[in-house]
């Protein structure tokens, strides 16, 4: 599956639109080589991934199935390079690797890595590629995963990179698990079409919303409602994509008025780690952007409540026991969809389908 970006310099690559970058990131059979941006995932690929994830979670229920899965990618090793806080995304990738038999290594604390001695990130990543066959990375820096993918694809040891969160910009695998959760939630009642998805919270700096908003444009007639205090409202670049794709959307700061129309409410945390001046977020009145018992009463009985987690107080714990609270199941879905993505990246899709067909 060796893929090299031969024909474009880094300077040229950066000038490409997200859609133009996509072909450089894919393998010939339409599956990702590097997974960097949500724009790589069209409708048929999303459906393929969801199917594979469903099969994997069924196969993993038996001991024989677990052993089969563990033999799939046992010849590859993965490096988790997480220079930003993470517990769930990190552990879900570790679990996904374990399910497929992929041994893992990690660097999480830059202060004890050679970067601290002044090694460039390019050299660090090339070092990882000497020992590993996949890099899963989370960084506070927008565009760094892309840069590293370009560096590796032009090195003598190209290996794939999966973006596990890059700056305020993209979080493609979170968007995959969110889409998978929506697909599963609505599969018995008409599927993911003709729905309203409401996003609430820090929509300006939350990367999960930016990636998910794009993925939802792959499904028919999904209206997107963005509920946030003015200074944290969704970015113009996201809206430009929706306009170009003729997707219905609405911006509001009236959460209570918006809730009754929602089929899914996607809550997010205030991302104050991005504040440029101290206490900037604390000055914003976010009290009306929280989900508690009063909001539950306004929500349709068939709607679901999602959150990428971690939460602070934007969803009251009193909501947790309501059957519409989907965030814990959403998190577990992340492990299965990431397992499917890694399996697909390493060419195991067909074998898993065959095993499933023969045994289920
Ligand atoms: C999110 C992230 O890191 O972008 N969490 C996650 O990956 N599940 C959201 C957040 O930190 O608020």
Q: Is 89 a catalytic residue?
A: yes
- 3 catalytic per annotation: no
Supply 224's token pair: 């997107």
Q: What is the DSSP string of 78-127?
A: EEEEE-S--SHHHHHHHHHHHHTT--EEEE--GGGSGGGGT--HHHHHHH
Distance (angstroms) between ligand 1 centre and the Cα of 203 equals 12
The pLDDT of residue 2? 44
**Cα 266 to ligand 1 centroid, rounded to whole Å:** 13
Interatomic CA distance for residues 147 and 121, integer angstroms? 10
Q: How far apart are CA 313 and CA 111, in angstroms?
A: 31
Verify whether residue 269 is a known catalytic residue.
no
Could you tell me if 36 and 149 are in contact, meaning their C-beta atoms sit under 8 angstroms apart? Answer: yes
Question: Which residues does the chain have with pLDDT short of 50?
Answer: 2
Q: What is the pLDDT of residues 13-57, one digit of tens each?
A: 999 999 999 999 999 999 999 999 999 999 999 999 999 999 999
pLDDT digits (tens, 9 = 90+) for 224-245: 999 999 999 999 999 999 999 9
pLDDT (0 to 100) of residue 4: 60
Domain architecture of the chain: domains with CATH:
5-171+333-351 (3.40.50.1370), 172-331 (3.40.50.1370)
- Residues with a CB atom less than 6 Å from ligand 1: 88-89, 165, 171, 174, 207-208, 269, 308-309
Distance 36 CA to ligand 1 centre (A): 16
- State the angle between helix axes of 144-153 and 18-25 in degrees (0 to 180), rounded to the nearest 10: 40
The residue nearest atom 7 of ligand 1, judged by CA position, is 89
Whether 317 and 75 have beta carbons less than 8 Å apart is answered as no
Is 88 tagged catalytic? yes
């Amino acid at each position: 599956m060796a893929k090299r970006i031969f024909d474009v310099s880094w300077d040229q690559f950066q000038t490409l639109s997200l859609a133009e970058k996509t072909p450089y990131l894919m393998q010939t059979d339409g599956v990702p080589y590097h997974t960097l941006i949500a724009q790589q995932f069209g409708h048929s690929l999303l459906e393929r991934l969801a199917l594979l994830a469903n099969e994997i979670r069924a196969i993993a229920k038996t001991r024989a199935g677990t052993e089969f899965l563990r033999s799939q990618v046992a010849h590859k090793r993965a490096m988790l390079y997480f220079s930003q806080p993470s517990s769930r995304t990190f552990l879900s990738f570790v679990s996904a690797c374990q399910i497929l038999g992929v041994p893992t290594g990690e660097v999480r604390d830059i202060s004890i890595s050679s970067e601290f001695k002044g090694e460039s990130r390019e050299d660090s990543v090339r070092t990882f590629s000497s020992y590993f066959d996949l890099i899963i990375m989370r960084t506070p820096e927008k565009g760094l995963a892309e840069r590293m993918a370009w560096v590796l694809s032009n090195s003598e040891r190209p290996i794939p990179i999966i973006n596990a969160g890059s700056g305020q910009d993209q979080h493609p695998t979170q968007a995959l698990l969110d889409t998978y959760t929506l697909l599963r939630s609505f599969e018995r009642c008409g599927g993911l079409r003709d729905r309203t998805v409401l996003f609430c919270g820090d929509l300006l700096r939350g990367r999960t919303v930016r990636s998910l908003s794009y993925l939802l444009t792959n499904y028919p007639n999904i209206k997107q409602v963005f509920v946030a205090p003015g200074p944290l409202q969704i970015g113009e670049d996201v809206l430009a994509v929706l306009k170009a794709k003729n997707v219905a959307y609405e911006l509001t700061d009236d959460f209570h008025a918006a809730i009754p129309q929602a089929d899914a409410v996607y809550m997010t945390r205030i991302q104050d780690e991005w504040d440029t001046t101290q206490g900037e977020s604390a000055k914003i009145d976010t009290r009306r952007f929280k989900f508690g018992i009063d909001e539950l009463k306004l929500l349709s009985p068939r709607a679901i409540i999602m959150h990428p987690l971690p939460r602070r107080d934007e969803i009251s714990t009193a909501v947790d026991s309501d059957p519409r609270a989907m965030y814990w199941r959403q998190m577990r879905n992340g492990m299965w969809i990431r397992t499917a993505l890694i399996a697909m990246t390493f060419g195991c899709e067909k074998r898993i389908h065959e095993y499933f067909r023969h045994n289920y």
